[in-house]
Amino acid sequence: MFVINCPYCGERDQSEFSCGGEAHIVRPKQPTELSDDEWAEYLFMRKNIKGVQFERWNHAHGCRKWFNMVRDSSNDKIHAVYKMGEKPPAI
Amino acid sequence: MTKYRINKTKFVDQTKTVSFTFDGKKYHGFEGDTLASALLSNGIHLVGRSFKYHRPRGIMSCGSEEPNAICQINDNTDLTEPNVRVTEIELYEGLKASSQNCWPSLNFDIGGINNLISPFLPAGFYYKTFMWPKSFWKKIYEPLIRLSAGLGKSPTQPDPDIYDHKHEHCDVLVIGGGISGIMSAKIAAKNNLKTILIEDKNTLGGSTIYQNNKNFIIDNQKSNEWLMNEISELEKLDNLIIKTRTSLAAFHSYNYLLAKENISDHLPLNKKNGSIRQRLWKIRADKVIVAAGAIERPLIFNNNDRPGIILANSVKKYLDFYGVSSGLNNTIFTNNDSAYETAVSLFEKGISVKIIDIRKKSSSNIVKNAKNLGIEIYWNSTVVNTFGYKKIKSIEIMNLSEDGSNVTGNKNKIQCDCLSISGGWTPMVHMHTQSGGKLDFRERDQVFVPNEKSENHINVGSCNGDFELEEIVKNTNNKVKKFLNINESGFDKISVLCSKELEKKNIWLLPNTISEGKTKSFIDFQNDSTAKDIKLALREGFKSIEHVKRYTTTGMATDQGKLSNMHALGIIADTAGVKMGTLGTTTFRPPFTPLTFGAIVGRSVGKFFDVVRKTSIHEWHVQNKAKFENVGQWKRPWYYPINSENLHEAVQRESKAARDSAGILDASTLGKIDIQGTDASEFLNRVYTNAWSKLGIGKCRYGLMLNEDGMVYDDGVTTRLGENHYLMTTTTGGAANVLSKLEDYLQTEWPELDVYLTSVTDHYSTASICGPNSKKILKKLFPDKDFSDEAFPHMSYQDAIIDKIECRIMRISFTGELSYEINIESKYGKSLWENCIKAGEEYKITPYGTETMHLLRAEKGFIIVGQDTDGTMTPIDLQMDWIVSKKKYDFIGKRSLYRSDTIREDRKQLVGLLTDDPNEILEEGAQIVSELDKKPIEMIGHVTSSYFSPNLNKSIALAVVKGGKKMKGQKLFVPMENKNINVTVSDFIFLDKENKRINA
């Protein structure tokens, strides 16, 4: 049960948030021009690494805003929280 | 006073007698006793039978580590609780305790035969036996195993107690109220930090509070007296919350901790009434100081489990804290100095005591003290056997060989009625590891100690591996100051004198003259696993500690191996020839001690278990005897039985009425999302499969929403209220998910779109009126409105006013009938509904529930997302190609519709099924096959919806079948338990394919 520093609301309990998986996977602008393999890469392939990873989170029971978070999945240490559209910090 | 209550202490009030029963017999103890100390004061050691061999077992410890002495309390009442440690129950007037796992009685237990056949019950015997004959399993083996499984009895009645949850925040949380915890709390609280100190016992002070020995001196006072003063000073601090009877259950990451406070468990039965029983504290602490202490280890030798064999420090606590002697002729068996404190204490109270020490000598002050008192000490010796079935009577000891691996010389028999054992100490590192901390193995005294890396918690005192008083006091002071960034504390100039242990020796499994296979050297007392079992597991090839644990069940009982895990590790390491440090430990998982279900769920029971959502018309449904169905959290009318109608009869009547005259449905639960913004049309284009830009204001359109993988996700009708304003409806169950999915796309993929989404599900109530007479009823309700098909066509909406209240009328249909849905602000929902019923009276308007709604739409072949689809159906599979725009460049899921997998022609596709016997109704979920003779029989699909249609007077069903699109007219089979039902694939629109009724 970690504490997440929502970029809009401040520190809140993890129970207010939901995780949306790996961040920075951009929906292709022209999906129809992609091969099956390229589309599958976007649609299905996720890293889920043990260690520092970039994730999407939603303050579901709060402001309902989506944002990005850098979390170490091995010890839940949160390295950074930043708004959608902002550049990922160097970790 | 009883024979065994030999001492007066300030912790037990011997002027206040408390009576209780054990196995039906009445006994007396005093206020301040635990059930364990009260039983011992009455000379009772035997309190239970072991799990597997049904061996007699007695009280072994004085705390939460107790493996043997667990009992059922208040049996045959709704307050009953199994597997309660007698060492943790505070005695109260009227307490009823009974022994477990024995039949017919504790003293004569038939299951004791297991002890004799124990050679046939080795580790993992249940994996090896009961294999044949196969037919025996269900009738003989399983019932027998179930009969003998488990210890106590689960309650059969609902728990009458009230449980609470409480959230708390603090600067510093101190876990454990022993000497180091008290010092930590005082340093923190004196420096203006909001501090909480929790202690699982009813008093503070740990083991120091009864350390009345001149070898342990702080600031020129005996350590217990010094600590007593500290505690009284502590109680004066106002930014310190002291919570006794509160045990830590879990230490999660980010210093989130759960602690259980016992509030009324210790009160007499007549005073418990109505009070909260336990409270679960959910604490978020800035800093955590763990001062959880250490647990004394047993020693592993043959027949080390008899009643009367007790941990040495527990013997001391019973004596010096409760005033109870565990025996009158005591022998101590130890590998370390701490047991000598027990010896001195016993001797000073006039109890005869001898010491057996596996070491060759010890030169510490406390040992000198014991020698000077004239206590007989057998050096370099070990116990090889014990005698006495229900209570220890004597022991046999032998000398150890030079390297300690064997025994030599003659057996020496010693009579005793209590054997106090001490195998050293194990720091309680559970909290540290639960929080994610790692451990280091310390060779010197064979303990795992915390490897501290966290900035937010530290371990102090003996849970940190500091065992000597001076070490504890000095290290705690220095460590806490550094941790809390404090320069000075009141403990900086403290002087400590204590006995120091110089000689150390540890043998995990003590040697014997007879082979291991013939000894019973218990490691896990509660689960009855022995050293022999562990060695067998190793011989059979188990290497990982986690595997050995599960195979032998060592450490898997309700005590979670607090006493057994270290010895299991030690024996594995010795046998396999590896170092304990490299072997590692098994995982320590919360809770530290068992939690009641009540404490976990708190107040979330009964009607507070989950939110119940009711529409504003709910009361009317109740008054009209509706049966309800749960749809998500909503209560929806399922059907409205008249007189003694059953579901089928009511649904047949309702369905007929809706098509013959008029029916009315409460559709308020459908999800409603208000969509506004200049890009609202573009947004709908992207989320629905069909095109939206050209939808005129005031028009409605059905939309299908896919996931990015091309599978149908939700559906509903969306109405264009204005140029940049839409009202989307979703399925009842999908409302919240659809909103969050749409928000996700808006915020993350398409932030450039000017669109705002608001959930308005609860804002509007909806009465849906359908049937050939619905137009006439609407006309009565809204006399000024023109309901002609030209003025108010199908799939359009108009604003209207009823009783001066604005409402919206949508002419849309989920039944295939002429149909209107009236949306009104929720608070007027019931009055609108009642107006509709009144206006519809002359047309016998019939309220119908979800079941009839499902039947009516199935007649028309309309799908229900989640019933006819399951997340693997594309719109093409559903034969809804018409709704997928070919012109739109993109929408969610479009690209996936021509992946190699989604264009397969043998995918499961939606079809209609007609049974050859029109009265035969298929079961939803039933499997469909094409050939009955083929083995293995191939399932080609399943029934998704099935009803008897009163309007068609035959059974109809929707199903998904592999390649079903091309199978129209084909005969298939639905095999059931007793018969095969013959069906024919049909069109899935059964009624009014030409859509005539919509404009009837």
Identify whether A58 is part of a domain: yes
- Taking an 8 Å cut-off on Cβ atoms, the answer to whether A64 and B740 are in contact is yes
Q: B514-586 adopts what CATH topology?
A: Arc Repressor Mutant, subunit A (1.10.10)
Residue B401, pLDDT score: 95
Under 8 Å between Cβ of B414 and B393 = no
CATH number for the B896-999 domain, one of 3.30.465.10, 1.10.510.10, 2.40.30.110, 3.40.50.1000? Answer: 2.40.30.110
To the nearest whole Å, the CA of B284 is away from the closest chain A CA by 10
To the nearest whole Å, the CA of A27 is away from the closest chain B CA by 7
To the nearest whole Å, the CA of A53 is away from the closest chain B CA by 18
Separation CA B545–CA B348 (nearest Å): 44
B756 in contact with A, Cβ within 8 Å? no
Q: Where are the alpha helices (DSSP H) in B489-564?
A: 531-539, 545-552
Of A2, A40, A85, the CB nearest to B751: A85
- Taking an 8 Å cut-off on Cβ atoms, the answer to whether A1 and B252 are in contact is yes
Which amino acid, one-letter code, is at B204? L
- Taking an 8 Å cut-off on Cβ atoms, the answer to whether B890 and A43 are in contact is no
Under 8 Å between Cβ of B666 and B683 = no
Q: How many CB atoms sit inside 10 A of residue B903's CB?
A: 11
Interface of B with A in 268-297 (CB under 8 A): 284
**Does B671-759 match B896-999 in CATH topology?**
no
Residue B322, pLDDT score: 97
Of B293, B200, B286, B289, the C-alpha closest to B244 is B200
* CATH class of the B671-759 domain in this structure: alpha beta
Tokens 């006439």, residue located: B776
To the nearest whole Å, the CA of B991 is away from the closest chain A CA by 38
Planar angle of CA B294, B299, B304, nearest 5 degrees: 125
Helix, strand, or coil here: B399?
strand
B379 in contact with A, Cβ within 8 Å? no
Identify whether A65 is part of a domain: yes
Identify whether A76 is part of a domain: yes
A72, burial (CB in 10 Å: exposed 0-12, middle 13-18, buried 19+): middle
Which amino acid, one-letter code, is at B104? P
Of A1, A32, A36, the CB nearest to B899: A36
* Element housing B718 (H / E): strand B712-722
Under 8 Å between Cβ of B510 and B300 = yes
| Bond before B936 cis per omega within 30 degrees | yes
Separation CA B458–CA B169 (nearest Å): 18
Of A18, A81, A4, the C-alpha closest to B256 is A4
Separation CA B984–CA B963 (nearest Å): 14
- Taking an 8 Å cut-off on Cβ atoms, the answer to whether B254 and A34 are in contact is no
| Bond before B591 cis per omega within 30 degrees | yes
Task: Map B248-309 to HEC letters.
Answer: EEEEECCCEEEEEEECCCCCCHHHHCCCEEEEEEEEEEEEEEECCCEEECCCCCCCCCCCCE
| Domains: count for chain A | 1
B546 in contact with A, Cβ within 8 Å? no
What tokens were used for B467? 């065992």
DSSP B90: B
Mean pLDDT by 10 residues, chain B (1000 residues): 87 96 96 97 92 90 94 90 94 93 74 70 69 74 69 87 96 98 98 97 96 94 96 94 96 95 92 89 97 97 96 98 96 97 96 97 96 97 96 97 93 97 96 93 94 93 96 97 96 95 94 88 92 92 89 88 92 91 85 92 92 96 97 96 96 97 97 98 96 95 97 97 97 94 96 97 97 97 96 97 96 96 97 98 97 97 96 96 93 96 95 96 96 90 97 97 96 95 97 90
Which amino acid, one-letter code, is at B105? S
Q: Is the ipTM of this complex over 0.90?
A: yes
Q: State the best of A3, A38, A66, A67 to mutate against chain B, taking most chain B CBs within 10 Å.
A: A66
To the nearest whole Å, the CA of B838 is away from the closest chain A CA by 42
Of B603, B487, B566, the C-alpha closest to B163 is B603
User: Which backbone phi and psi does B811 adopt, to 5 degrees?
Assistant: -95, 90
DSSP B747: I
CATH number of the domain at B166-294+427-497, please?
3.50.50.60
Residue B150, pLDDT score: 64
* CATH class of the B298-423 domain in this structure: alpha beta
B604 in contact with A, Cβ within 8 Å? no
Of A2, A32, A84, the CB nearest to B895: A32
Helix, strand, or coil here: B592?
coil
Contacts of B968 (CB under 8 A, 6+ apart): B911, B985, B986, B987
Q: Where are the alpha helices (DSSP H) in B154-278?
A: 179-190, 223-234, 269-272
Strand pairing class (B276-290; B162-175): parallel
- Taking an 8 Å cut-off on Cβ atoms, the answer to whether B896 and A43 are in contact is yes
Chain B positions in Cβ-Cβ contact with residue A36 (cut-off 8 Å)? 899-900
- Taking an 8 Å cut-off on Cβ atoms, the answer to whether A66 and B254 are in contact is no
Q: How many CB atoms sit inside 10 A of residue B783's CB?
A: 7
Q: CATH number of the domain that A70 lies in?
A: 3.30.2270.10
Separation CA B195–CA B238 (nearest Å): 10
Separation CA B116–CA B235 (nearest Å): 56
B887 in contact with A, Cβ within 8 Å? no
Under 8 Å between Cβ of B825 and B761 = no
Q: Domain boundaries in chain B?
A: 1-158, 166-294+427-497, 298-423, 514-586, 671-759, 896-999
Q: State the best of A64, A77, A86 to mutate against chain B, taking most chain B CBs within 10 Å.
A: A64
* Element housing B581 (H / E): helix B580-583
Contacts of B128 (CB under 8 A, 6+ apart): none
Q: Note down the domain range covering A63.
A: 3-27+34-83
Under 8 Å between Cβ of B77 and B155 = no
* Element housing B833 (H / E): helix B829-840
Residue B148, pLDDT score: 65
Helix, strand, or coil here: B549?
helix
How many Cβ pairs within 8 Å bridge chains A and B?
A: 53
Q: State the best of B434, B740, B743, B747 to mutate against chain A, taking most chain A CBs within 10 Å.
A: B747
* Element housing B928 (H / E): strand B927-929
What tokens were used for B631? 């749809």
Whether CATH 1.10.1660.10 fits B1-158:
no
Of B594, B634, B591, the C-alpha closest to B849 is B634
- Taking an 8 Å cut-off on Cβ atoms, the answer to whether A39 and B895 are in contact is yes
- Taking an 8 Å cut-off on Cβ atoms, the answer to whether B747 and A39 are in contact is no
Task: Map B1-29 to HEC letters.
Answer: CCCCECCCCCCCEEEEEEEEEECCEEEEE
Q: What average pLDDT does range A20-29 have in this prediction?
A: 95
Q: State the best of A24, A34, A36 to mutate against chain B, taking most chain B CBs within 10 Å.
A: A36
Of B715, B677, B681, the C-alpha closest to B696 is B681
What tokens were used for B559? 């005590």
Under 8 Å between Cβ of B475 and B491 = no
Separation CA B669–CA B666 (nearest Å): 8
- Taking an 8 Å cut-off on Cβ atoms, the answer to whether A75 and B436 are in contact is yes
To the nearest whole Å, the CA of A2 is away from the closest chain B CA by 5
Under 8 Å between Cβ of B109 and B85 = no
B881 in contact with A, Cβ within 8 Å? no
Contacts of B608 (CB under 8 A, 6+ apart): none
